Structure 1
Amino acid sequence: MLTGYHVAIIGGDARQIEIIRRLNEWDATVYLAGFDQLNESFTEAVDLDFDSDQVEKLDAIILPIPGTDDEGKIDGIFSNRLIQLSEEWLKRTPKHCQIFTGITNSFLTNLMKTVDRSLHPLMDRDDVAIYNSIPTVEGTIMLVIQHTDFTIHGSKLMVLGLGRVGMSLARIFDHIGADVSVGVRSSKAMARVYEMGLTPIDMNKIHESNMECDILINTVPHLVVDQQVIKQLPSHALIVDLASKPGGTDFTFADKRGIKAILAPGLPGIVAPKTAGRIIADVMLRILKEQNRKENSNE
């Protein structure tokens, strides 16, 4: 339970709806900003007044998964207005106030150092990423089925990257019956791919490798699916890029070649926002409880 905790949720998407529900279940006092167009009514929540003394009570602030833009502005799907996160406002929060975001950027990271507040980029955590890989895989399967006219079973599929999401993708598509290859850079990762019974591809020599496949799924957040790779793909091939914007694919060249390429970051929030919201809320609860234990032990 979070009885006595004051938590502000500023902007976001459908994942925040589940976070609000969970916080209400845990008896926290919830303040909302950027939800003026929300159809659902959260009678337990309070509108966040940035000019009031509410800020002086906050134990935590929850930002959207994308965090802020490069100027500190916060967006959300439930409001037409941008909210500016400022140094002056954050300095009014209690010293123990913790800031949660999905991903961070240089502005947000530097701002937290300036105001001396703890920042938790949740998507950098192994537990969040691994939990999130489940709806990511399901969403990827959905996209592949929607945008191909052949079965996954028996198709030649390539996953670039064997991180927390890449490993789940490779395993599940192998179980479905695809002929799976995995692009990796380290000898350790190549050994893991071999142990999984899949075909390793050395991404350090990607332009010397045979990259021809029916489905190409990229998880690497820099340009790897370039012109030389795309030239090897058959016209019916599908590229699904799961990396954060702008992705790791030359989408312009893929379009010129007549190859369907989809940029699909943030799939958990699109295909399973309720589950994705629960994942975030549960991890935040553990962090807040741990902080509370530390504070109590120091008293």
Structure 2
Amino acid sequence: MSVNPVLIYHKGTTAACAQAAAFLSDRGIGVVDHPTPEVSHLLVDVPSFSSDGALRGGGQLSEVLERLPPETVVIGGRLNRPDLHKHRVMDLLADEEYLAKNAAITAHCALEIAAAALGTTFRETPTLIIGWGRIGKCLAAQLSGLGCGLTVAARSAKDRAMLAALGRKAVDIPEIPGVLTGIRLLINTVPVPILDGEILAKYPKCVKLDLASAPGLVGTGVICARGLPGRYAPESSGRLIAETILRKLKEAAI
């Protein structure tokens, strides 16, 4: 299927989703802000749902789909839901390329927050990253390029071995309390409890930034920074959403 017949109903409410719709329109994709019989795709926010199951912008997805053709493809994030099993979906949060590029944007935004909180440059700043997933890797790459004194805490022995082979200092998760002395920037990316307030309170000069989807750092003074791309870089986030949609339209013809 060519991308030309595509008509996307933009139902998103975030700045990033609005940017995505504008970028798609600039690329010649039809975008409307109301349901019509010609709609082929429904674009909602990424991620798409709040904790109560409603769309992030309010309302129920089923009510929106009732006004659209039954073959409408739903575009969003975290779409593995029973009410969508009869619909084709384009789940951006299940796309590895999207996730990798989104991690890079997240890391960039996180470092902007960290720089403001530190009040100094990253050069030779003792930093500990907890977690060696997509975001942890992007953070390490960006911080290393800035001359940061970097340590990475990773649970997997395989990951620690690779970090050592790359010339980076690595510790196991249980070893974290023993390396906190002197750390000026602590960034967590692991969505399970790692350090509590009693431990963190011993290091008042350390900037503590938690990027995980669920708290890993618990205590006073922790900066909880989730959903950063859409909040701090909506244009970049929207462009990534749009570029991913265009790529997947060509790849899968949906």
Which of 38, 41, 44 is equivalent to 1:60?
41
The 8 Å contact of residues 160 and 166 in structure 1, kept in 2 or not, is answered as yes
TM-score relative to the length of structure 2: 0.87
The 8 Å contact of residues 108 and 139 in structure 2, kept in 1 or not, is answered as no
SS state of the match for residue 20, structure 2? helix
2:215 match: 247
Which of 115, 124, 128 is equivalent to 1:158?
128
- Equivalent position amino acid for 2:215 in 1: G
1:272 match: 233
Bigger shift: residues 206-215 or 127-136: 206-215
2:26 match: 25
The 8 Å contact of residues 11 and 74 in structure 1, kept in 2 or not, is answered as no
Cα RMSD over matched residues? 2.4
CA distance in 2 between counterparts of 1:210 and 1:58 reads: 56
The 8 Å contact of residues 202 and 209 in structure 1, kept in 2 or not, is answered as no
After superposition, give the CA deviation of every residue in 1:265-298 in whole Å (9 maximum; x if it has no partner).
Answer: 1222223211211111111112122232xx8xxx
Q: Please tell me whether residue 178 in structure 1 is matched to residue 148 in structure 2.
A: yes
Which of 207, 224, 244 is equivalent to 1:283?
244
Bigger shift: residues 62-71 or 169-178: 62-71
TM-score relative to the length of structure 1: 0.75
1:98 match: 73
Displacement of 1:148 in angstroms is: 1.6
The 8 Å contact of residues 154 and 177 in structure 1, kept in 2 or not, is answered as yes
Q: Please tell me whether residue 84 in structure 1 is matched to residue 60 in structure 2.
A: yes
Displacement of 1:207 in angstroms is: 6.1
In structure 2, do the counterparts of structure 1 residues 58 and 222 end up closer, same or farther at CA, with 3 Å as the change threshold? farther
Structure 1 residue runs of 5 or longer lacking an equivalent are 33-47, 77-81
Structure 2 residue runs of 5 or longer lacking an equivalent are none
Displacement of 1:141 in angstroms is: 1.8
The 8 Å contact of residues 153 and 176 in structure 2, kept in 1 or not, is answered as no
Displacement of 1:102 in angstroms is: 3.0
- Equivalent position amino acid for 2:12 in 1: G
- Equivalent position amino acid for 2:16 in 1: R
Give the total of aligned pairs. 252
CA distance in 1 between counterparts of 2:68 and 2:166 reads: 49
Bigger shift: residues 170-179 or 118-127: 118-127
2:82 match: 110
| Percent of pairs with identical residues | 25
In structure 2, do the counterparts of structure 1 residues 284 and 146 end up closer, same or farther at CA, with 3 Å as the change threshold? same
SS state of the match for residue 220, structure 1? coil
